[in-house]
Amino acid sequence: MLSRACLFTVPTRYFFRTTKFFTMSTEQNQPKEVAQHPIDPASTAAAAAHPNHNKKHGKKSKLQVSLKTPKGTKDWADSDMVIREAIFSTLSNLFKRHGAVTIDTPVFELREILAGKYGEDSKLIYNLEDQGGELTSLRYDLTVPFARYVAMNNIQNIKRFHIAKVYRRDQPAMTKGRMREFYQCDIDFAGAYESMVPDAEILSVLVEGLTSLGIHDFKVKLNHRKILDGIFAIAGVAEEDVRKISSAVDKLDKQPWDVVKKEITVEKGQTEETANKIGEYVKLNGSLQEVYGILSQDEAILGNELAKQGLDDIKTLMGYADSFEISKFISFDLSLARGLDYYTGLIYEAVTEASAPPENAHELKKKSKSADDASEYVGVGSIAAGGRYDNLVNMFAQASGKKSAQIPCVGISFGVERLFSLIKQRTHLTDKIKPTATQVYVMAFGGGKDWTGYLPERMKVAKQLWNAGIETEYVYKAKANPRKQFDAAEKCGAPLAVILGKEEYLEGKLRIKRLGPEFADDDGELVDATNIVEAVQTKLGEVHKDGIDDVVRLLRDL
């Protein structure tokens, strides 16, 4: 039992019954822009030139700013950070299982490193001001910096993963995870290996990554740049026009064929016959076996050397995909183009039902009242994407005068914010995520003139639990009343309390109690203070159903 002084002064059972489990809000609200007058440098200078101005008006001028984050960015905090860190951890562990090591590269690169690698998307690169004679830009992705790293260090083979922020001056759609500053989680294999072996494993990593995050209703759209370039050649597209036609075809996931065809003919200058021929092929999609079966019977495809090479790669891939048990996730889609200029072989992206924009997106865009956010009329887009790029490392090596070396590369990039937006939709589980990892709250109850509050004693118990790797807190006050201690435990979401009763502690006993409204009538159980660590570990095992905590349950969508 707790001490009589404690029971007399503060009815413990009363606090047990009235204490309710507290979960912090999982929503990280964005600060609203405060309506302020913009700071005009010219008017500021003019005011400075007339010192009597402020005297005349009898007040000092004040600097006014808008307390908001820049367009396309947000602050991350509370349970959102817990979820995001769990995504990072899940993907990092996956990459390590496949033998990858991690690296880090500068957040900005020399502008010449990034130039000419992203096709029409190059306009989205953030260029920085000249600072000391070097023109630099914020990195657009993690792939080009990786290729630069491999070339610069003469690396012949490496499996690397990299989790870091990238920057794109794109139209944001915040609730869909489309932002100007966002994280990518990349894994790439560099080195010469047998055809399609690393490609198949990267595709397996893609499937493993999404399923480990509880995402199962997705398709991996896959194509081959050599097949696509062969199709363009068959249709009569000149070699110098291939990339811009490829960029147009890449819009088929957002626009109907009629709109894309108009771009090919009117804007890109191709003939109606050429556009129609391209249309015959890019409308094909299905399983690897289905589309391969059609293309392998096409004389024009077999007669084009590039397309034939790509088709041979697909044939090899089919067997490996079956070995990795990922064939059911793959859709061979000839409309997939991936507009980035550096891809040379397989290209792929993972999409879900939420990836596509609404059917009436055009109308919604017209009605939209927000010029800063496109969430109303766009979809999430691809949640992971990548491909093979065999010439990028060699391009850097040659350009820098280093000994030319052909280092083939293949990889995949997971879009963390887009994955986060999908996981956050599991509201029946996200509501249970608390911002702190605290598992145990150490309390002390007592009373009377000689009551000290047991602060050093609480510290000692907390230290024992910390040493055992148990997340623990206590109130930073010598004499904290029970209500404040329970409130603090509720606020951090601790599921367990270790209570030092005034008389029980002197007898070498501690009380362990479950927290939450369903345990309001439970006074807990007394255990020997010498066995507190083992007793807490046992109790925590009971707290987490099947040994799985709420964060893992959320990620796996259990």
- 103: three-class secondary structure by DSSP: coil
pLDDT along the chain (558 residues), means of 10: 40 41 38 42 47 54 82 85 90 96 95 85 89 89 94 93 93 76 94 96 97 93 95 91 87 85 90 92 94 95 95 96 96 86 92 68 64 61 92 86 81 92 79 82 93 95 96 94 92 92 94 89 91 93 73 74
Task: Look at residues 109, 110, 107, 115 and name the one whose alpha carbon lies nearest to residue 341.
Answer: 115
pLDDT given for residue 355 in this prediction: 64
- Residue type present at position 355: S
Produce one character per residue of 68-91: b if its CB has 16 or more CB atoms within 10 Å, e if not.
eeeebbbeeebbbebbbebbeebb
Paired tokens of 459: 């510290």
From the CA atom positions of the chain, what is the Rg in Å? Answer: 30
Per-residue confidence (pLDDT) for residue 379, from 0 to 100: 61
Exposure letters 349-377 (e unless 16+ CB within 10 A, then b): bbbbebbebeeebeeeeeeeeeeebbbbb
Burial of 499: CB neighbours in 10 Å, binned 0-12, 13-18, 19+: buried
Q: What is the DSSP string of 4-51?
A: HHHHHHS-HHHHHHH----------PPPPPP------HHHHHHHHH-T
Please state, in angstroms and rounded to a whole number, the distance separating the CA atoms of residues 388 and 346.
5
Cα–Cα distance between 410 and 343 in angstroms, integer?
9
Q: CA–CA separation, 29 vs 492, rounded Å?
A: 19
Q: For residue 297, how far is the Cα from the chain centroid? A: 41
Q: How many whole angstroms separate alpha carbon 246 and alpha carbon 335?
A: 9
Q: What is the DSSP letter of 263?
A: I
**pLDDT score for 361:** 59
Amino acid identity, residue 43? S
Rounded to whole angstroms, the Cα distance separating 338 from 378 reads: 18
For residue 376, what pLDDT is reported? 62
Q: Locate 426 and state its tokens.
A: 């599991």
- The secondary structure of 385-413 as a DSSP string is EEEE-SSHHHHHHHHTTPPP----EEEEE
Residue 348 · residue 342 · CB < 8 Å: no
Query: In DSSP terms, which residues pair with 333 in a beta bridge?
Result: 285
CB atoms within 10 A of CB 269: 12
At residue 28, the pLDDT reads: 41
Residue with tokens 């007898």: 507
| Nearest Cα residue to 140 out of 157, 161, 123 | 123
Answer for the pair 356, 379: CB distance below 8 angstroms, yes or no: yes
- CA–CA gap between residue 236 and residue 258 (Å, rounded): 19
Identify the three-state secondary structure at position 179: coil
Distance between CA 433 and CA 538 in Å, rounded?
22
- pLDDT score at 21: 35
- What are the backbone angles phi and psi of residue 410, rounded to the nearest 5°? -150, 145
